[in-house]
Structure 1
Amino acid sequence: MRPPSVRVLYIDDEENNLSAFKASFRRQYEIYTAISAADGLKILQSVDIQVIIADQKMPNTTGVEFFKSITETYPDPIRILLTGYTDIEALADAINHGDIYRYITKPWNDLELHNSIKNAYDAYKAKIDLRNKIAELEKTNDELNRFIYSISHELRAPLVSVIGIVNLVKLENMYNSSGEYWSLIETCSNKLDYYIQKTLQYYKNNKTVAETSEIDFKTLVTELIEVHAYADKDTQFTVNVVQNMPFKGDLFRIEVILGNLISNAIKYQKVNELNKKVNIDIEVGAALAEISISDNGMGILNEHLEKIFTQFFKSKVHHGSGLGLFIVKEALNKINGRIAVSSDVDNGTTFTITIPNAK
Structure 2
Amino acid sequence: MTPSPVKILYIDDEENNLLAFKASFRRLYEIYTAKSAEEGLKILENLPVEVIIADQKMPGITGVEFFKSIAYSYPDPIRILLTGYTDIAALADAINHGDIYRYITKPWNDLELHNSIKNAYDAYRSKIDLRNKIKELEKTNDELNRFIYSISHELRAPLVSVIGIVNLVKMEGLYHSSGEYWELIESCSNKLDYYIQKTLQYYKNNKVETIHTEVNFQKLVDDIIALYAYNHKDTQFKVNINQPHKFIGDSFRIEVILGNLISNAIKYQKNNETEKMVEISISVSHSVAEISIADNGLGILNEHLEKIFTQFFKSKNNKGSGLGLFIVKEALNKINGKISVSSNIDYGTTFKITIPNAC
Equivalent residue, structure 2, for 1:50: 50
What percent identity do the matched residue pairs reach? Answer: 78
Q: Give the letter aligned to residue 47 of structure 2.
A: V
Equivalent residue, structure 2, for 1:303: 303
> Closer, same or farther in 2 for the Cα pair 1:39/1:355, shift >3 Å?
farther
Q: Give the letter aligned to residue 11 of structure 1.
A: I
The 5-angstrom pairing of residues 150-229 of structure 1 reads: 150-229=150-229
How far apart are the structure 2 equivalents of 1:356 and 1:46? 50
Deviation at 1:291, TM superposition (A): 1.5
Q: Give the letter aligned to residue 142 of structure 1.
A: D
Does 2:127 match 1:127? Answer: yes
Does 2:90 match 1:78? Answer: no
Structure 2 SS opposite 1:185? helix
TM-score by length of 1: 0.93
Equivalent residue, structure 2, for 1:338: 338
Structure 2: 5+ residue runs without aligned partners?
A: none
Q: Give the letter aligned to residue 250 of structure 1.
A: D
Structure 2 SS opposite 1:340? strand
Equivalent residue, structure 2, for 1:256: 256
> Closer, same or farther in 2 for the Cα pair 1:82/1:150, shift >3 Å?
same
Equivalent residue, structure 1, for 2:247: 247
Structure 2 SS opposite 1:127? helix
Q: Give the letter aligned to residue 344 of structure 1.
A: N
Deviation at 1:59, TM superposition (A): 4.5
> Closer, same or farther in 2 for the Cα pair 1:138/1:277, shift >3 Å?
same
> Closer, same or farther in 2 for the Cα pair 1:77/1:265, shift >3 Å?
same
Q: Give the letter aligned to residue 185 of structure 2.
A: I
Q: Give the letter aligned to residue 154 of structure 2.
A: E
> Closer, same or farther in 2 for the Cα pair 1:212/1:295, shift >3 Å?
same
Structure 1 SS opposite 2:5? coil
Structure 2 SS opposite 1:57? coil
Cα shift readout 1:120-177 (whole Å, capped 9, x = no counterpart)? 1121112111211111121112111111111111111111111111111111111112
Greater shift in the superposed pair: 26-35 or 133-142: 26-35
The 5-angstrom pairing of residues 66-145 of structure 1 reads: 66-145=66-145
How far apart are the structure 2 equivalents of 1:315 and 1:58? 69
Cα shift readout 1:180-216 (whole Å, capped 9, x = no counterpart)? 1111111111000000111111112222222222211
Question: How much is the aligned-residue C-alpha RMSD, in angstroms?
Answer: 1.9
Q: Give the letter aligned to residue 30 of structure 1.
A: E
Structure 1: 5+ residue runs without aligned partners?
A: none
Aligned length: 359
> Closer, same or farther in 2 for the Cα pair 1:337/1:74, shift >3 Å?
farther
How far apart are the structure 2 equivalents of 1:266 and 1:326? 18
